[in-house]
Amino acid sequence: MSAAPPTPSAYVEPGLWTHQGDTLAVIVTAANSKAATQAVERAGGQVSSDLYIIDAVAATLPTAQLPYLASDPAVISITVNKGVKTSATADPYWPWLTDKAWPVADDVGAVQLHDAGITGEGIGIAVIDSGVYFSQGMWSPNNQGLAMDFAVQVDLLVAQSCNGGYDSWNRICYQAAGQTIDPYGHGSHVASTIANRFKDKTTGIYLGIAPYAKIISVRALDNTGVGTYENVIRAIQVVVERKNSDNIRVLNLSLSAPVTTPYFADPLNRAVEKAWAAGIVVVAAAGNDGPASETITVPGNDPYVITVGAVDSNRTANKWSDDYLSGWSSTGPTLDGFPKPDVLAPGARVVAFMYKDAVDKTKSAKLAQDHPDYSVTTSLFRMSGTSMATAVTSGVVALMLQKNPSLTPDQVKYRLMLSSRPALTSNKKDIDYNIFQQGMGRIWAPDAVNGSFPADGKANYGMNINTDLAHGLGWKDSNKNGVVEESELSASEMAYHYQGEFGRMLSDDGRAYMYYFINSAGQTVAMGVAWKNNRRWLTQSEMSSSGLKWNNGQVTWSTTSFTWAGGVSYGGGRARGGGAHWGANNFWGSSNTWAGGRARGGNVTWGGGTSWTGGNAWGGSYTWGGGRARGGSLSWSGGSMTGSSMKTTTWVGDTWTDTGAAPPLTALSLDLDLNPTGGSPTTIYLPILFNK
């Protein structure tokens, strides 16, 4: 009779327990990567990569050995070595050739900065993607060199076929501009959206947002645009290692993966946070699973980084009145309760480099082969996605850093968000999209670069990324049932992680969710409502006729009391995005807990009058609702992890279960300054929930 498997003591991502195959692909975390290696080998596994930046290794493990590895006292966590993909698509909405390259740089105001000599020169931008291929069109016809300042491509996928310098120990190929490859094409498009010093012949506008920034390409995605956590984390290690030698100040991550754990237990997010803590501004895609709520993907769900959604310029560059939120752009809140995306940027029908061979189709980039009608020329290709919006934003960040090189990542995020312009209806008083759809609004480079900001202004206020990284879950399976339960979580460990400020409440009839936060006065403030069945956001007109009620009929939607005035300021330079520590007294209460799991994307439609037709204004800078003190006073109460969903303020999967009511809702007054450079503040009108 064989002995019973040992009791797990490490955190194990729930889906691993139900894996059906013989072998698991995992990421194992310990005190350091050496300890993780030894633990894997003791359990009969094999290490494939040293992920020292997060004190972990990537490994394969016989499925039957999982309980033994999980019971090793040296192991802190075991998570899935998940797949990642690009956050872009060949544009399906306009199946004909674009007649010109849309001047995206003009649409974000970068042209004004270019004219003043702010071009991103000297700023290194790392692009972790499918690579960069320099086709003939990317070499100047006048022998002026490449279309971009290119430092190197660090290829993590080629081995014996490396045509540059090969590091066999680390399995890395170093390639110069004439040696690089990008079989898929996505990386070339992203890199040349960021930094392209060629100009449009008609307008004289640079095709790149930061035309003279330096690109460092790290190839971690294959010829289908797919990769693994393992290789993306390896790529982040390369970026941090080369930070000083290449002056890497920005990391572009136009890629995404599904959310299956809390942000702080996700290995990719931990690697991203390491880069942020090292002084590198990380810009990540929100994902293309919108328009439903709760669809932000990894690593865009990480509260520290800059997360970018996409706006569609509607084929009318530099005319904002007919622009609208792209229907596929993922929306928040994150499953940790944080408001995302942070900002929007143009991401639809963006034209940039991708190779299409005029003679031999098989030599073209795969995207160009699959979608030949989206090729503008043999060198230019039209794509849409939050990938493109992320690239645009990375370019703007480079402009910010050239002008103000001493800025920290938190300061960059603060200034970028505070200078963004939210979508308002034509009366310039009503918000067209809620905070979970548009964040702080669309970016505007001149204000982000040249605006006046508080000296101590920074994002992620009240959060400490280093102590967050230094702590795990501290789980001990005291009742030996393999389920992570609230009473088994170490308060001393969980106290260093954060929860977002937003909760969710189900309507009395079970049709819709209301997303809310609780302010410092104990008032509950609604920030958006989405249908339960497909998570589509309701418009104001839909709200007026919906008859929805919450809290046993005590809360309804007001269509008359919209005025927000007086009361909220982010003193001391606070920006939206902080968090409260985990621990007892969760402000969500029992009404908002993780549970179950639902498919994302594909089954939701965009409608109900959500486009911005009829004229829209993009208001000046202002901060959103919030205003409660952040820090240790509000926190989650832990919870139990089981299967692939969270139960009772605990982790499991990617949706919430509602078991109770939130505190009563009341009207809230907020001071929203639409004219930060002077003059009288403008009153903003927003729908507010109130007590009957």
Q: How far apart are the two ends of the chain, measured CA to CA in Å?
A: 66
Q: Please, are residues 243 and 278 in contact by the beta-carbon 8 Å criterion?
A: yes
User: Hey, CA dihedral for 53, 58, 64, 65, is it positive or negative?
Assistant: negative
Q: Given pLDDT bands bounded at 50, 70 and 90, which one contains residue 92?
A: very low
Q: Given pLDDT bands bounded at 50, 70 and 90, which one contains residue 278?
A: very high
Q: Given pLDDT bands bounded at 50, 70 and 90, which one contains residue 14?
A: confident
**Residue 306 or 161, more confident:** 306
Q: Given pLDDT bands bounded at 50, 70 and 90, which one contains residue 481?
A: low
Where is mean pLDDT largest: 90-99, 141-150, 401-410?
401-410
Per residue in 423-453, pLDDT tens? Answer: 765 555 556 788 899 898 899 999 999 999 9
Query: Is 379 among the residues known to form the active site?
Result: no
**Residue 160 or 190, more confident:** 190
Q: Please, are residues 140 and 148 in contact by the beta-carbon 8 Å criterion?
A: no
Q: Helix (H, G, I), strand (E, B), or coil: what is residue 129?
A: strand
- Strand pairing category for 46-51 and 56-62: antiparallel
Average pLDDT score over residue span 161-183: 85
524 pLDDT above the threshold of 60: yes
Question: 55, 106, 107, 129: which one is catalytic?
Answer: 129
Lowest mean pLDDT among 334-343, 577-586, 682-691: 682-691
> What's the rounded Cα separation, in Å, for the pair 475 and 12?
10
Per residue in 59-75, pLDDT tens? Answer: 999 999 999 999 999 99
404 pLDDT above the threshold of 60: yes
Average pLDDT score over residue span 323-328: 84
Question: 33, 49, 155, 186: which one is catalytic?
Answer: 186
Query: Is 387 among the residues known to form the active site?
Result: yes
Q: Given pLDDT bands bounded at 50, 70 and 90, which one contains residue 665?
A: very low
- pLDDT at 357 (0 to 100): 80
- Strand pairing category for 165-167 and 46-51: unpaired
**Residue 410 or 327, more confident:** 410
> What's the rounded Cα separation, in Å, for the pair 540 and 432?
9
- pLDDT at 571 (0 to 100): 24
> What's the rounded Cα separation, in Å, for the pair 563 and 47?
59
Number of CB atoms found within 10 A of residue 632's CB: 12
> What's the rounded Cα separation, in Å, for the pair 294 and 268?
19
Q: Helix (H, G, I), strand (E, B), or coil: what is residue 543?
A: helix
Q: Rounded mean pLDDT of the chain?
A: 76
Nearest C-alpha neighbor of 17 from the set 5, 1, 30:
5
> What's the rounded Cα separation, in Å, for the pair 302 and 393?
17
Contacts of 466 (CB under 8 A, 6+ apart): 277
Contacts of 297 (CB under 8 A, 6+ apart): 87, 256, 257, 258, 259, 285, 286, 287, 289, 330
Contacts of 640 (CB under 8 A, 6+ apart): 483, 484, 485, 486, 646, 647, 648, 650, 652
Average pLDDT score over residue span 654-677: 32
Q: Given pLDDT bands bounded at 50, 70 and 90, which one contains residue 546?
A: confident
**Residue 364 or 621, more confident:** 364
Q: Please, are residues 237 and 248 in contact by the beta-carbon 8 Å criterion?
A: no
| Domains of the chain by start residue, with CATH | 11-81 (3.30.70.80), 85-93+113-423 (3.40.50.200)
Question: 77, 135, 192, 387: which one is catalytic?
Answer: 387
Nearest C-alpha neighbor of 286 from the set 55, 100, 87:
87
Q: Helix (H, G, I), strand (E, B), or coil: what is residue 620?
A: coil
Can you read off the two tokens belonging to residue 464?
A: 């400490």
Lowest mean pLDDT among 322-336, 470-484, 558-572: 558-572
What angle separates helix 186-194 from helix 386-403, to the nearest 10 degrees? Answer: 30
Q: How far is CA 218 from the centre of its chain?
A: 19
Task: Indicate the length of the chain as a whole number.
Answer: 692
Per residue in 559-603, pLDDT tens? Answer: 322 222 222 222 223 333 345 444 332 222 222 222 222 222 222
> What's the rounded Cα separation, in Å, for the pair 221 and 340?
25
Q: Helix (H, G, I), strand (E, B), or coil: what is residue 312?
A: strand
Gyration radius of the chain over CA positions: 24
Nearest C-alpha neighbor of 106 from the set 97, 96, 115, 117:
115
Q: Given pLDDT bands bounded at 50, 70 and 90, which one contains residue 10?
A: confident
655 pLDDT above the threshold of 60: no
